[in-house]
Amino acid sequence: MQVSDSVTQRQCIRSFLDKPVDPQLINEILNAARWAPSGANTQPWQVMVVSGNSKQTIGERIIAAREDGQKENPDYDYYPENWIEPYRRRRYETGMALYSALHIEKSDHEKRKAAWYQNYHFFGAPVGLLFFMDKQMGRGSLLDMGMFIQNIMLMAEHHGLGTCPQASLAEYPDIVREILEVENDYLLLCGMALGYPDSSAPVNNYRVERVAVSDFTRWYD
């Protein structure tokens, strides 16, 4: 697969086949992704690969915390507190597109909640990845993390695998750190579902638009 095809064809996958992913293939993907650039070659990433019990426990514990009314306590603010345009509208449209693909009415709070909770079980993917970064590093390392994570998604695409990056899995970092026995020195940035896409699932068969190049680019001579 051409790099350009991986870049433009990748889309979030939120329904997976009940088919395991060979750990050697995961290793191969990570082995390629580590060639991501990073400031001063600091390579700030730490990846936790979960499946089976650990993955199941993460889902159960986060859902229990939510049901218990425990407040989210993320290590960093992924989203703004106050949404402004055009981001507010883009976010709204993206949410609507997802629920429409799932045939869930906007007013059906129970079904929306159930769909959202799928996040915590990595959308049923056989493998989950959790991305951590050393607390001592600066904000610039977040750029490095993003490049590394994108490399993983593109390599997964190349190998016929589907992914969904998930900030939702970083809402209760203490729970995840406790289950995986990760030191407090590491910030949890996000998770990712990884597996073979169920190409027949409607949720995998819609795309969200992008704004035109001219909307975000200024040219200078």
- Specify the residue for token string 């007013």: 107
Contact status: 176 vs ligand FMN (CB under 6 A): no
Contact status: 208 vs ligand FMN (CB under 6 A): yes
Site residues (CB under 6 A) for ligand FMN, limited to 10-69: 11-12
Residues 6+ apart with CB under 8 A from 215: none
Nearer to ligand FMN, 128 or 165 (CB): 165
In 3D space, the residue among 147, 153, 149 whose CA is nearest the CA of residue 10 turns out to be 153
Nearer to ligand FMN, 22 or 85 (CB): 85
The window from 25-33, 69-77, 124-132, 165-173 that contacts ligand FMN (CB under 6 A) reads: 165-173
* Number of other CB atoms surrounding residue 74 within 10 Å: 17
In 3D space, the residue among 149, 167, 145 whose CA is nearest the CA of residue 10 turns out to be 149
- Note the Cα 102 to chain centre separation in Å: 19
Instruction: Please give the structure tokens belonging to residue 91.
Output: 């976010």
Count of residues in contact with ligand FMN, rule CB under 6 A: 11
Residues 6+ apart with CB under 8 A from 22: none
Contact status: 190 vs ligand FMN (CB under 6 A): yes
Helix axes 23-33, 141-158, angle to 10 degrees: 130
Site residues (CB under 6 A) for ligand FMN, limited to 87-126: 94, 119
The window from 27-35, 107-115, 166-174, 196-204 that contacts ligand FMN (CB under 6 A) reads: 166-174
- d(CA 164, CA 181) in angstroms, rounded, equals 24
Which residue number has the CB closest to ligand FMN?
168
Nearer to ligand FMN, 46 or 168 (CB): 168
Please state the φ and ψ torsions of residue 188, each to the nearest 5 degrees.
-90, 120
Single out the residue of 148, 166, 176, 195 in contact with ligand FMN (rule: CB under 6 A): 166
Strands 162-166 and 186-195: antiparallel
Nearer to ligand FMN, 171 or 177 (CB): 171
Nearer to ligand FMN, 181 or 215 (CB): 215
The window from 79-87, 104-112, 130-138, 162-170 that contacts ligand FMN (CB under 6 A) reads: 162-170
* CB of 147 vs ligand FMN, minimal distance in Å: 12
Residues 6+ apart with CB under 8 A from 20: 51, 126
Interface positions with ligand FMN (CB under 6 A): 11-12, 94, 119, 164-168, 190, 208
